Structure 1
Amino acid sequence: MLGVAFLCELNILFSIWSLYLVGLVAQYGMTRVGFSIGLTGQEAKPPDIIGLFIHGVMIGLAIWSVWTARGHLANVWREARRGKSVSTAIVTPRTALWLLIGGSLFLIFWLSAVGYSLILAASWVILFWTSLFLIMKFLAASGFAYLFPNWGTSIPVIWAGTSRMSEATLVASRVVNWRLLAGWRLPVALPHVARLLGARLKARTIYSAVLLGLAIAGLYTVWLCYLDGGATFRTWSLVGAPRGVYNGIAKAVSETSARTVTDPAKIFVWFLGIGAAALTTILQARASWWPFHPVGLLLMFDGYVRLYVLDIFLIWGAKAAILRLGGITLYERVKPGVYGLIVGYAAAVGLSFLVDLIWFPTGGHYIHGY
């Protein structure tokens, strides 16, 4: 983390740790005074308010990103219509367009089969792609590996309310979640894979690696479950999470008195997030004195930042001092050591894995994590 953070822009590092502190103060203040919003009987507590605000920020940043990339998107559209191939792309623009359309239609009809209405299924897919798009963009900008998509599952609820949803939709909204759709991690990684392979990139290399990885992971998981039994792993994802999902479904279906309606106050908070993202982005683009980057706004309430905020602060201070005292010359001299930190850590994790595989195949050790 230290090595990757050092390569990040100073204003991004500053924005992450400073706005995270602002978020802590805001969250503490709301919790301390018992602040809540919403209609009687369906009030949103501070964690829910934060979730709505951050999702609004995400939507605002996505809209701005699409607007600023409108020229590029127009070129991609023209290339897709003409069937033109781009040497640096994993697939041709036309193939990418058809994959996007086909994947979206598959998701919509799959969600409909699970229980969603077609309108809510289409809304879910739009929020799904928006979240993935933004995470890919800011992961590339910040290098912060623990950026996770915000699916915005509560957004249809604040607009329509659960009272207008069928029981099938209520069940589906709790069954379909980010843990079920684990494949969302793949698109985020593909641009980085493409950069690593460079000019030698071949589409079949990506396809073959993905299919091989899926096959091995699936077969290994089934083998483990047959060998030891899935419940014997006693992990939260196999024991606690399914129980929580089931209890949530039972509560949503049985407690009809707890159904919600359209909530203007929650919608206002969502739009407030969009406005904050727009203001931050415009100032960052137009005012040279503005110190905050939009990614800091996106992460100001992120739980994973809590684990690394001190590291980010120290790296920001060290990089700022290096640039001020020695300029770009000293910075370039320090960079090889930073690359060494990254490569050394990855090599140490890989070596530890091999040691566990050879000498501790049934036990292993916790080496890398959050």
Structure 2
Amino acid sequence: MTSEELVFDFERVRVHGIGVYEGTGLDVRAVVAGLSRDVRDGFRLDEVPWGRFSHAYGSGEDVLIHLSRMRCADAAAARDARSSLGNSVCHQGTTGSVAPLTVPFLLRIAEDQAAHERVNALVLVAAVACRNHWGNGSRAALLRVADPDDEVTFDGSGYPQNWSVRAGRDAIAADAHIPIALLDDLDPGVREAAACVLAASSGRAWEVSAALHERFRVEGHPRLRAGLVLAIAQLAREHRHEDAAGFTRACWSDPARPPEVRVAAALGWLCLVDDSAPEDLRAVLDELVTPELGRLMAEVPWLRQVDSHSGAGLTLTLKHMFDPAPRPTFPGTWGKPGRFVGWGKPGRFADDPLV
């Protein structure tokens, strides 16, 4: 395919099918796979074909400007750049085709101790690499990373979001060493967001799972412990790790475990198996789900996406899981229309008293 032909044509897709672009320079999965370690480590943004792909407002050519400004010494400028970038590439639940190309560079911003937007860089990576299931806390959706391959969805330009999400997940797998190292970061917000990023990885699953388990064994923050359980379960669900159902069951059935761990493990177990909820699990939930625990777990990222407004994420998730009636979805993680705010309110991690 010549450079003149490197323009995505939805009409061509309509006639010939999306497979016409598979493996070409317009397949973002192939482009992400072709980014060398030197380009990624060297932050060589000018060697990435941004303009070949798009976001909510058109060509992705401006993405490198936002990424560059996210590294600047001025905190306000870095924050504005991150907001503009997120608003463009992950817009109202839609992942733009240029979005996965940002992942290697956002990960490197996150590992830079001098960067101002470390947490939110990881939040954006997690958003790129996980299809958003707004407000859906059901057993089928809470830990679902992406749409099935046979359910192709498209962004505003007609580009298949399945490819974009997969490319984002592949980019995480290629640089998994970065978020794995960040699981031990001094900033609890970084640790929490790193776990969410790793849970969406498309590869190196056993290595990632081992790192999440290791962090879980030493993590002292209650909310982060709950999140790690769900991260382990999500990764296992995607990669069919049969031992995860046993791990989560052992956690929720162990009275010596903290309440947030037992409840998170119960949710994870329900998402990993098709069995009906046993009476002993229901008894655990009846005993441990209190208003206090609901407030603590409302900020766990998986539950925040179910309800980021009223803080009822845990209650709604349990209702969705035990009530088979379909539930409408709503933009629970995006705030005002068109404005990317990560998993909750703007500045959530900066203001949240995690320590």
TM-score (norm 1): 0.26
- Greater Rg over alpha carbons, structure: 1
Instruction: Give the helix-richer structure, 1 or 2.
Output: 1
What's the TM-score once normalised by structure 2's chain length? Answer: 0.27
